[in-house]
Structure 1
Amino acid sequence: MRSSNYDKFPCVPVAAEAGACQTGWPAIIGALQAALRANPTAPDQPQVLAVECYPGTDLGQLRQELAQTLQPGQYLVADDLYRTPAEIDEMVAGPLTDDPVFGRLNGLTVADFFAPQKLQKAQATLAQAMGQLVVVVGTGAALVCPNPAVVVYADLARWEIQRRQRRGEIANLGSDNFTEKASLKYKRAFFVDWRAADRLKKQVLPRADFLLDTNDPAVPKLIRGADLRAGLAATVRRPFRVVPFFDPGVWGGQWLREVCDLPDGPPNYAWGFDCVPEENSLLLGFGEARVEIPSIDLVFFHPHELLGEAVHGRFGTEFPIRFDFLDTMGGGNLSLQVHPLTEYAYDKFGLAYTQDESYYMLDAEPGAVVYLGMKEDADFPAMLADLQLAQDDPNAPFPATKYINEFPARPHDHFLIPAGTIHCSGANGMVLEISATPYIFTFKLWDWNRLGLDGRPRPIHLAHGAANIQPDRTTAWVEQNLVNQVELVASGPGWREERTGLHEREFIETRRHWFTDVVPHHTHGGVQVLNLVQGAEAVVESPSGAFEPFVVHYAETFIVPAAVGAYTIRPHGLGAGTECATMKAYVRT
Structure 2
Amino acid sequence: YFPEPQPAERISMPIHNHPGSDYVKKHFNEPLGRYETYYIAEAYEGANTWMGFKDDADLEEWERECYRSDNIVPIEKWKDYIANHVSNEGDLYLIPPGTVHGHGGNQMVLEMDTCPSIAGTEYSFFEYDFARKTWNDKEQTMSGRPMKMHLEHAFDNEKWRREPYVKEHLRAGRHVTEWNKEYSRDEYDTLPEMPFTVERLHFYNRAVNDTKMKFMHLVTLTVGTKVRIVSKSDPTKFTTLNRLQSAIIPASFGEYEIINDDGGNSTLVQLRWKEGV
- TM-score (normalised: structure 2): 0.86
Does 1:580 pair with 2:259? no
Does 1:399 pair with 2:85? no
- Which residue number in structure 2 is paired with residue 373 of structure 1? 52
| Kept after mapping to 1: 8 A contact 2:17/2:158 | yes
Q: Give deviations 1:184-228, integer Å, cap 9, x for gaps.
A: xxxxxxxxxxxxxxxxxxxxxxxxxxxxxxxxxxxxxxxxxxxxx
Bigger Rg, which one? 1
- Which residue number in structure 2 is paired with residue 511 of structure 1? 199
Shift, 1:544, TM fit: 2.9
Partners in 2 of 1:498 and 1:451 — Cα distance? 42
Q: Give deviations 1:60-93, integer Å, cap 9, x for gaps.
A: xxxxxxxxxxxxxxxxxxxxxxxxxxxxxxxxxx
* 3-state secondary structure, aligned to 1:348: helix
- Which residue number in structure 1 is paired with residue 234 of structure 2? 545
| Kept after mapping to 2: 8 A contact 1:366/1:410 | no
Q: Hey, which bits of structure 1, 4+ residues long, moved more than 6 A?
A: none
**1 or 2 for the larger relative contact order (CA 8 Å, sep ≥6)?**
2
Does 1:474 pair with 2:152? no
| Kept after mapping to 2: 8 A contact 1:501/1:511 | no
Query: Which structure shows the higher helix fraction?
Result: 1
Partners in 2 of 1:542 and 1:353 — Cα distance? 31
Match of 1:338 among 17, 41, 52: 17
* 3-state secondary structure, aligned to 2:157: coil
* 3-state secondary structure, aligned to 2:97: coil
Partners in 1 of 2:72 and 2:204 — Cα distance? 55
Match of 1:498 among 186, 195, 198: 186
* 3-state secondary structure, aligned to 2:11: coil
Unaligned runs of 5+ in 2: 3-9, 137-143
Q: Give deviations 1:519-567, integer Å, cap 9, x for gaps.
A: 1111122221100011111121222334344321100001111111000
| Kept after mapping to 1: 8 A contact 2:126/2:154 | yes
| Kept after mapping to 1: 8 A contact 2:71/2:148 | no
Q: Give deviations 1:90-138, integer Å, cap 9, x for gaps.
A: xxxxxxxxxxxxxxxxxxxxxxxxxxxxxxxxxxxxxxxxxxxxxxxxx
Partners in 1 of 2:225 and 2:130 — Cα distance? 36
- Which residue number in structure 2 is paired with residue 441 of structure 1? 123
Match of 1:462 among 151, 169, 181: 151
Partners in 1 of 2:76 and 2:158 — Cα distance? 16
| Kept after mapping to 2: 8 A contact 1:390/1:398 | no
- Which residue number in structure 2 is paired with residue 423 of structure 1? 101
- Which residue number in structure 2 is paired with residue 118 of structure 1? none
Q: In the TM superposition, what are the counterparts of 1:20-31 in structure 2 within 5 Å?
A: none
Partners in 1 of 2:26 and 2:195 — Cα distance? 20
Q: 1:392 to 1:489 in 2, by over 3 A?
A: closer
Shift, 1:384, TM fit: 0.5
Query: 2:241 corresponds to which letter in structure 1?
Result: V
- Root-mean-square deviation (CA), in Å? 2.0
Q: 1:555 to 1:545 in 2, by over 3 A?
A: same
Query: 2:270 corresponds to which letter in structure 1?
Result: K
Partners in 2 of 1:346 and 1:378 — Cα distance? 31
Shift, 1:505, TM fit: 1.1
- Which residue number in structure 2 is paired with residue 351 of structure 1? 30
Q: In the TM superposition, what are the counterparts of 1:380-395 in structure 2 within 5 Å?
A: 380-391=59-70, 394=73
Q: 1:392 to 1:434 in 2, by over 3 A?
A: closer
Partners in 2 of 1:551 and 1:393 — Cα distance? 46
Partners in 2 of 1:566 and 1:392 — Cα distance? 50
Q: Give deviations 1:270-299, integer Å, cap 9, x for gaps.
A: xxxxxxxxxxxxxxxxxxxxxxxxxxxxxx
| Kept after mapping to 2: 8 A contact 1:363/1:411 | yes
- Which residue number in structure 1 is paired with residue 223 of structure 2? 534
Shift, 1:501, TM fit: 4.2
| Kept after mapping to 2: 8 A contact 1:386/1:398 | no
Shift, 1:342, TM fit: 2.7
Query: 1:557 corresponds to which letter in structure 2?
Result: S
| Kept after mapping to 2: 8 A contact 1:529/1:560 | yes
Partners in 2 of 1:586 and 1:569 — Cα distance? 16
Partners in 1 of 2:11 and 2:98 — Cα distance? 23
* 3-state secondary structure, aligned to 1:401: helix
Identity level (%): 22
| Kept after mapping to 1: 8 A contact 2:205/2:261 | no
Q: 1:481 to 1:392 in 2, by over 3 A?
A: closer
Q: 1:587 to 1:554 in 2, by over 3 A?
A: same
| Kept after mapping to 2: 8 A contact 1:494/1:516 | yes
* 3-state secondary structure, aligned to 2:50: strand
- TM-score (normalised: structure 1): 0.42
Shift, 1:356, TM fit: 0.8
Query: 2:150 corresponds to which letter in structure 1?
Result: H
Aligned length: 257
Partners in 2 of 1:568 and 1:338 — Cα distance? 37
| Kept after mapping to 2: 8 A contact 1:493/1:517 | no
- Which residue number in structure 2 is paired with residue 360 of structure 1? 39
Query: 1:481 corresponds to which letter in structure 2?
Result: H
